[in-house]
Amino acid sequence: MKGKVFLVGSGPGGRSLLTLRAQQVLEEADVILYDQLPGEEILASLPEGAEKVDCGKFGGRHTLEQDEIERLMVSRAREGKKVVRLKGGDPFLFGRGGEELEALREHGIPVELVPGVTSAIAVPGAVGIPVTHRKYASTVTILTGHEDPGKEGSAIDWENLAGNRGTLVILMGVRNLAAIAENLVTHGRDPGTPVAIIERGMRPDQRVTTGTLATIEGVAQERRVRPPAVIVIGDVVRLYREGEPGLVPPS
Ligand code: SAH
């Protein structure tokens, strides 16, 4: 008997945004390895019968190291089990899903990808900020703000990003917000460029904070903005209307 691993995206939060395939594989799972990002509602509803392992990877806390997670997936699959690796949003956007795919392939374990609704597009969209718009932005770049923008030999080409008039969507960027905004301005982006931060998007307690590249750090400090949050930078943010009816989080 051969086991299988499902790399599953949970969407940005809330059971209503799980795909039908994600629900099905969760119901049939023998083992579920999860992170905290899928949020309380989804985590509280995981099936009772399955072995559940909290991999605890969110906001820098690690319960299990990445190689331990990979080893566990491989060993449970070798026991013939159906293993679900559940991640927030889509598994292949900043979730180390790509590395897990490589590790599973190396060990000859069958893998199925179950895509999820990514927070990078859905979270701004749900508050009325489309990441592209014919008038405002024809390209969108999704980047991690996890890396310290001041570091030498950054993997992110800030000059290119600052010179680009498209939308920037930053995940994991709250801690480095000041450095990110400063870096973009230093490299030539207009300090008046609008910015929105959406905390806990598409969840009942979501909150939106707006400003410009010049002001956002001060506003975020004042309002004590915390992860998880999506940061959107660019003219599409002009479409945001506070409290607009019809664009409330799903209940
Ligand atoms: N694979 C995920 C992203 C993982 S990185 C996806 O496709 O959405 C984790 C980051 O995603 C968080 O730090 C935050 O920036 C963002 N994020 C995920 N869910 C979110 C939510 N409901 N609200 C706001 N930000 C969210």
Residue type, 242: E
**Which pair of tokens denotes residue 204?**
């009942």
> Do 161 and 102 belong together in one domain?
no
> Do 123 and 110 belong together in one domain?
no
pLDDT tens digits, one per residue of 85-103:
999 999 999 989 999 999 9
| Ligand 1 pocket check for 89: Cβ under 6 Å | yes
> Do 61 and 30 belong together in one domain?
yes
Supply the range of the domain harboring residue 176: 119-239
Closest CA to 29 of 69, 64, 76, 75: 76
pLDDT tens digits, one per residue of 146-170:
877 667 777 888 999 999 889 999 9
Cα three-residue angle 229-116-82, rounded to 5 degrees: 125
Probe ligand 1: pick from 40, 119, 121, 144, max atoms within 8 Å of CB?
Answer: 119
User: Is residue 245, in this structure, part of any structural domain at all?
Assistant: no
How many domains is the chain partitioned into structurally?
A: 2
Closest CA to 196 of 233, 148, 228, 171: 233
Residue nearest to atom 2 of ligand 1 (CA): 89
Q: How far is Cα 90 from Cα 52, in angstroms, rounded to an integer? A: 20
Ligand 1 centre from 79 Cα, in Å?
32
| Ligand 1 pocket check for 228: Cβ under 6 Å | yes
Give the end of a domain, one of 114, 131, 161. Answer: 114
SS3 readout for 83-148:
EEEEECECCCCCCCHHHHHHHHHHCCCCEEEECCCCHHHHHHHHCCCCCCECCCECCEEEEECCCC
Probe ligand 1: pick from 43, 176, 230, 233, max atoms within 8 Å of CB?
Answer: 230
User: Is residue 248, in this structure, part of any structural domain at all?
Assistant: no
User: Is residue 244, in this structure, part of any structural domain at all?
Assistant: no
Q: How far is Cα 135 from Cα 201, in angstroms, rounded to an integer? A: 25
> Do 123 and 104 belong together in one domain?
no
Catalytic residue among 2, 57, 73, 235: 57
Q: What is the CATH classification number for the domain harbouring 103?
A: 3.40.1010.10
Closest CA to 75 of 114, 104, 34: 104
Q: Is 35 a catalytic residue?
A: yes
> Do 228 and 150 belong together in one domain?
yes
Q: 35, 80 in Cβ contact below 8 A?
A: no
User: Is residue 103, in this structure, part of any structural domain at all?
Assistant: yes
| Ligand 1 pocket check for 11: Cβ under 6 Å | no
Q: What atom in ligand 1 is closest to the CA of residue 59?
A: 13
User: Is residue 21, in this structure, part of any structural domain at all?
Assistant: yes
> Do 82 and 177 belong together in one domain?
no
- Phi and psi at residue 48, to the nearest 5°: -65, -40
> Do 167 and 191 belong together in one domain?
yes
> Do 39 and 98 belong together in one domain?
yes
Q: Is 172 a catalytic residue?
A: yes
User: Is residue 157, in this structure, part of any structural domain at all?
Assistant: yes
Ramachandran assignment for 89, one of left (phi > 0), alpha (psi -120 to 50 degrees), beta (any other): left
> Do 123 and 230 belong together in one domain?
yes
Give the end of a domain, one of 87, 114, 141. Answer: 114
Q: What atom in ligand 1 is closest to the CA of residue 91?
A: 1
| Ligand 1 pocket check for 13: Cβ under 6 Å | yes
> Do 146 and 97 belong together in one domain?
no
> Do 203 and 217 belong together in one domain?
yes
Give the end of a domain, one of 48, 82, 114. Answer: 114
User: Is residue 246, in this structure, part of any structural domain at all?
Assistant: no
> Do 179 and 75 belong together in one domain?
no
**Which pair of tokens denotes residue 212?**
């410009």
Show pLDDT as tens, one digit a residue, over the chain (251 residues).
Answer: 679 999 999 999 889 999 999 999 999 999 999 998 888 899 999 999 999 999 975 555 567 888 999 999 999 999 999 999 999 999 999 989 999 999 999 999 999 999 999 999 999 999 999 999 999 999 999 999 987 766 777 788 899 999 988 999 999 999 999 999 999 999 999 999 999 999 999 988 999 999 999 999 999 999 999 999 999 999 999 999 987 655 555 55
Closest CA to 145 of 183, 111, 118: 183
Q: What is the CATH classification number for the domain harbouring 193?
A: 3.30.950.10
Q: What is the pTM of this model?
A: 0.93
Q: What atom in ligand 1 is closest to the CA of residue 122?
A: 8
